[in-house]
């Protein structure tokens, strides 16, 4: 395959949403500004934090492309604000409290778009506990739409897509909170025939208990709400969707145990 090095033109927009994250936003910011890839537009959308979040952010103001701090309707409203501010060719999310997996992640993402004719990519992720040990590992398979009918979904923050797609296929539907991300995933990965290819790399670490993670019972309740996301697009989900989704999550816990034992990723 011919390597197409167009990095001078390919800008990656990374968006961080925050709200009262003074204790855990610093590692998030540092994971972005320490990237080896240079053409990054970094946007932080704060929901009007009342703690010292903004004080921490201001320490890095020279490294941040855009910062807004104002009340929002919900986290998806904040994400939409960031996406609408973005000017990069490619957009992705990294929420406060979470970190990019390594300093080479964005370079690998740029290479993936450069060397493949794709609209969207996704990768692997890991949820770590307070001791930075694996708690859940989401190792994603190669892409197939049939996987979605069997309960597969990549970690949302491992998804990167061409910004121009948002103009055609839309942003997050605020009325669907708190499962707007699942409907967004279905819209882009299943109900529209876009060109999607996995990047076989770990993209990020989630901090257990942060913005991105919820307790398991909340996740169980969310599965019923996910059915409505299918129905609004005119398709009834398969009867085995929820059992398969829950089974996949159980597998992520088991994979984390294996990673703890072998100390590898």
* pLDDT 10s digits, 20-79: 999 999 999 999 999 999 999 999 999 999 999 999 999 999 999 999 999 999 999 999
pLDDT in tens, 80-96: 999 999 999 999 999 99
Instruction: Give a yes or no: residue 7 inside a domain.
Output: no
Domain membership of residue 5 (yes or no) is no
> What number is the average pLDDT over the span 206-232?
68
pLDDT in tens, 112-132: 999 999 999 999 999 988 888
Is 16 within a domain?
A: yes
The 3-state DSSP class for residue 203 equals strand
- Tell me if 190 is assigned to some domain: yes
In a domain, 178, yes or no: yes
- Residues of the chain above pLDDT 90, percent: 72
Q: Which residue has the higher pLDDT, 138 or 89?
A: 89
pTM of the model: 0.90
CATH number at residue 65: 3.90.550.10
3 domain residue, yes or no: no
Domain count, the chain: 1
Beta strands in the chain (DSSP E): 12-18, 40-46, 66-69, 90-93, 99-100, 120-128, 134-138, 160-162, 196-207
Report the pLDDT value the prediction gives residue 209, as an integer from 0 to 100: 57
Q: Which residues contact 141 (CB under 8 A, 6 or more apart)?
A: 147, 152, 198
Say how many residues make up the chain: 265
pLDDT over 60 at 222, yes or no: yes
Mean pLDDT within 184-201: 98
Which domain range does residue 68 map to?
Answer: 12-262
């Amino acid at each position: 395959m011919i390597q197409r090095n167009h990095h001078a033109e390919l800008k990656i927009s990374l968006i961080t949403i925050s709200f009262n994250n003074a204790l855990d936003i610093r590692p998030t910011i540092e994971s972005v500004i320490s990237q080896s890839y240079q053409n990054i537009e970094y946007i932080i959308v704060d929901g009007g934090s009342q703690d010292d979040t903004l004080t921490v952010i201001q320490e890095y103001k020279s490294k941040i492309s855009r910062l807004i701090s104002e009340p929002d309707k919900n986290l998806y409203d904040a994400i939409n604000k960031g996406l609408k501010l973005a000017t990069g060719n490619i957009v992705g999310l990294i929420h406060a409290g979470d970190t990019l997996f390594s300093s080479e992640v964005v370079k690998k993402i740029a290479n993936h778009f450069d060397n493949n004719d794709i609209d969207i990519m996704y990768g692997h992720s890991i949820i770590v506990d307070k001791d930075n040990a694996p708690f859940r590992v989401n190792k994603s398979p190669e892409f197939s739409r049939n996987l979605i009918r069997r309960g597969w979904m990549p970690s949302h923050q491992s998804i990167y897509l061409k910004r121009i797609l948002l103009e055609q296929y839309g942003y997050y539907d605020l009325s669907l909170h708190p499962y707007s991300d699942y409907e967004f995933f279905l819209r882009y990965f299943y109900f529209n025939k876009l060109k999607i290819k996995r990047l076989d790399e770990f993209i990020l670490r989630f901090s257990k208990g942060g913005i991105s993670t919820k307790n398991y019972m909340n996740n169980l309740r969310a599965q019923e709400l996910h059915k409505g996301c299918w129905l609004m697009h005119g398709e009834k989900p398969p009867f085995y969707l929820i059992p398969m989704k829950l089974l996949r999550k159980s597998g992520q816990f088991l994979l984390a145990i294996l990673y703890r034992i072998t100390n590898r990723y």
